[in-house]
Structure 1
Amino acid sequence: MTPDPTPEIPADELVAQYLTDAGMEILARNWRCTYGEISLIAEDAGITVFVYVHTRIGSAFQVPAGAVSFAKQQRLRRLSLLWLSEQEGPWWQVRFDVAAVILMPGCEPDVQHFRSAF
């Protein structure tokens, strides 16, 4: 019987810990509005970073950043503008990252972080 590859810790929590360990500050988790959700919003050396979190089960050879279609990129950009409009600025720099959690049966989850993915 193959072990269940689902992590005990949610993917966004794994990514948040990974980013925190890398020196980034988490500003918001699972921010929601009428139009959608942003998994993680962080700050990295003065840059506001909007992070799309993606989970892959199985092949480590698939490119997780490729799972972010143009439509998803546009949606995240629009959502980021809504989030920014609710905050006190100024916001000089923003970045869009993709973080993938790769789940392989019998292995610890692997977090991959792609800076400036789009």
Structure 2
Amino acid sequence: MAAKDDLGARGEKLATEHLISAGFEILDRNWRCSQGELDIVARELDELVFVEVKTRSSVLFGHPFESITTTKLARLRRLAAAWCDDHPGLGSSVRIDAVAVIVPSRGDVEIEHLKRIS
């Protein structure tokens, strides 16, 4: 499982760097509560952005975004509300984004950012 955890951590680091280079301010990473974990909490202009990061080494078994189900989206909405309750006054406009990171054993890393998935 360590290799998988390393891949996920690398993907989250690459996603964070991508967001920063796109002008996002990172507010939190790997925020946890009793309901689960948010990968990245950021701000883009006046909007709070909750970012789900999905990392894979290939698309052999499907694109990373395919693993974001309606159940997962509902959980992300609950987690976003919990984060906002825990950090009052940081923004009234909220959205959920997803970042797919594909880290092949050879070749270039691919990063795809979908805004407002929910």
Scaled to the shorter chain, the TM-score interval is: 0.7 to 0.9
Alignment RMSD (CA, Å) = 2.1
Q: Is the 8 A contact 1:60 1:102 kept in 2?
A: no
- The ranges of structure 1 where at least 4 consecutive aligned residues each deviate by more than 4 angstroms after the TM superposition are none
Q: Deviation at 1:34? A: 1.4
Q: Deviation at 1:63? A: 3.8
Name the one with the larger helix percent: 2
User: Which has the bigger relative contact order, CA under 8 A and spacing at least 6?
Assistant: 1
Partner in structure 2 of residue 25 of structure 1: 25
* Structure 1 residues 26-76: Cα deviation after superposition (integer angstroms, max 9, x where no partner): 000000111100000000011000000001221289443232000100001
2:47 and 2:36 map into 1 onto residues whose CA distance is: 22
2:72 and 2:80 map into 1 onto residues whose CA distance is: 12
* Structure 1 residues 72-100: Cα deviation after superposition (integer angstroms, max 9, x where no partner): 00001001111100112163210100001
Q: Select the structure of larger CA radius of gyration.
A: 1
TM (norm. structure 1) is 0.85
Amino acid at match of 1:76: L
Partner in structure 2 of residue 107 of structure 1: 107
Other structure's SS at 2:51 match: strand
Partner in structure 2 of residue 91 of structure 1: 91
| Aligned counterparts, 1:1-118, within 5 A | 10-59=10-59, 62-89=62-89, 91-118=91-118
1:59 and 1:36 map into 2 onto residues whose CA distance is: 26
Aligned-residue sequence identity (percent) comes to: 34
2:85 and 2:46 map into 1 onto residues whose CA distance is: 17
